[in-house]
Amino acid sequence: MNWSELRAKLLGAQGAFVLPPAVKLPMMPAAVMEFTKYADDPAATPKKLAEIIETDAGLSCELLKHVNSAAMGLRHSVSTVKQAISILGIRTVKLMLLTSAAKNMISNRQSKLIHLPTFWVENLEKALFAKEVARLLKADQEVAFSSAMLSDLLLPILTNEAYEPYFQFVKNQDADPQSICTFERKLFKWDHACAGAHVLHGWYFPDDVVCAVYLHHDVEKLLESAELKSTAVPAVACASLLPDAMKQRPDGLEKLIALADRIPGFDLLQVATSVQEKFQTMCPAMTNHFPLIKRVEKHLFLTTTEET
C-alpha cells in the first residue's frame, strides 16, 4: 500500500485546510519533533536517537515505562533508552512517542463538555479493540492501536470552541440520532476525522496513521476496498463504532454485529472480553466504571430480549 500517495489524495482533496482561529493547538515537544525527523534518516542510529530522547526526562520515563510494562512481557527489565530503541525498533518508538506526546498535550487542556478521564479510558478501550481486530485481519497492530488512540484527539478542543452545538448534539442523540461526522459537516463543512488527520500530518505522524484517522468513520467502505480491507485502517474504523460518552455512532454496536461475517474470526463478545483483560493488565489502578464488556453484554442481552 502506498500510504504517502493515499495521504496526499485524502488531505489534498480538502485544499489548504485551516482550523478556525479560535482553535488553538498545543505545540509538540521539541525532542519529539527532533526524534521524528532524525528517525526517518537511513543513517539514524539507536545511540543518536537515544541522546535526543534523553534530553526530555518525561519522554525517557514514558519509553522505559512502556518497554517494561506487563503488556510487553519481557523477561528482564530495560534500564536505558538505547536498549529500549534496540528492542522495540525505531519506527515503533517513533509511533509510541508521538502518540504519547499528543495524548499528554490534549490531556493538559480543560474541556467544558468532555470528562477527560472517561474520554481517555474510552480511547484506550477503542485502541485495544482496534488492535484485536487488526490481529484478526493480520494487519499492523501497533498502527491500529495508535491510530485508534488518536482518532478523536481534537474533540476536547472542538467541543470547547463550539460548546453549545456539540452539547445539543449529545442531548438530542436519543430522540434524533445521527453520526457525529454528519453533524460536524453541517456545522463546519468538515469533521473531526479530517481535521485530526491534517493535524497529525503537521506533527509528522506516519502516513498510515494519518490515513487511518482520516477514514475512521468509513468502516463499510473500507471493508469493501481491495487495497485497504486487510490493513489496520478498517480495524480503527471498527473501533470507532464502540459506544462512548459523546454518542458518536448511536447505531455502532448494531453495525459491529452486522460486520461480524466480514472479519475472519470476529466475535464481538470475545473481543470485548479480551479488551477488558488487556485493559486490566495495562492499567490495574485505573477506574473503569462501565467497561466495554458490560456495555456489550447489556446490548446483546437487550437485543436477544427484543427478538424473543
Give the DSSP per-residue string, the chain: --HHHHHHHHHHTT-S----TT-PPPPPPHHHHHHHHHHTSTT--HHHHHHHHTT-HHHHHHHHHHHTSTTT--SS---SHHHHHHHH-HHHHHHHHHHHHHHHHHHTS--SS--HHHHHHHHHHHHHHHHHHHHHHT--HHHHHHHHHHTTTTHHHHHHHTHHHHHHHHHHTTTS---HHHHHHHHHSS-HHHHHHHHHHHTT--HHHHHHHHTTT-HHHHHH-TTTTTSHHHHHHHHTTS--TT-S-TTHHHHHHHHGGGSTT--HHHHHHHHHHHHHHH-TTS--SS-HHHHHHHHHHHHHHHH-
Q: What does the pLDDT read at residue 138?
A: 95
| Confidence band of 81 (pLDDT split at 50, 70, 90) | very high
Q: What does the pLDDT read at residue 150?
A: 92
More confident residue, 166 or 104: 166
More confident residue, 27 or 305: 27
- Mean per-residue pLDDT, 106-135: 89
Q: What does the pLDDT read at residue 274?
A: 93
| Confidence band of 20 (pLDDT split at 50, 70, 90) | confident
Judge whether residue 14 has pLDDT over 60: no
| Confidence band of 287 (pLDDT split at 50, 70, 90) | low
Q: Which ranges in the chain are annotated with CATH 1.10.3210?
A: 113-308
Cα–Cα distance measured from residue 179 to residue 8, given in angstroms and rounded to the nearest whole number: 26
**Beta carbons of 146 and 96 less than 8 angstroms apart:** yes
Cα–Cα distance measured from residue 30 to residue 58, given in angstroms and rounded to the nearest whole number: 12
**Structure confidence by residue, pLDDT tens digits, 206-230:** 999 999 999 999 988 898 899 999 9
Distance between start and end Cα atoms, the chain: 46
Percent of residues, the chain, with pLDDT higher than 70: 94
Q: What does the pLDDT read at residue 75?
A: 75
Percent of residues, the chain, with pLDDT higher than 90: 44
| Confidence band of 71 (pLDDT split at 50, 70, 90) | low
Mean pLDDT (the chain, rounded): 88
pTM of the model: 0.88
Q: What does the pLDDT read at residue 70?
A: 65
**CATH code, 113-308:** 1.10.3210
Judge whether residue 203 has pLDDT over 90: no
**Structure confidence by residue, pLDDT tens digits, 253-284:** 888 888 888 898 999 999 999 999 888 887 76
Count CB-CB contacts under 10 A for residue 220: 12
Q: What does the pLDDT read at residue 12?
A: 84
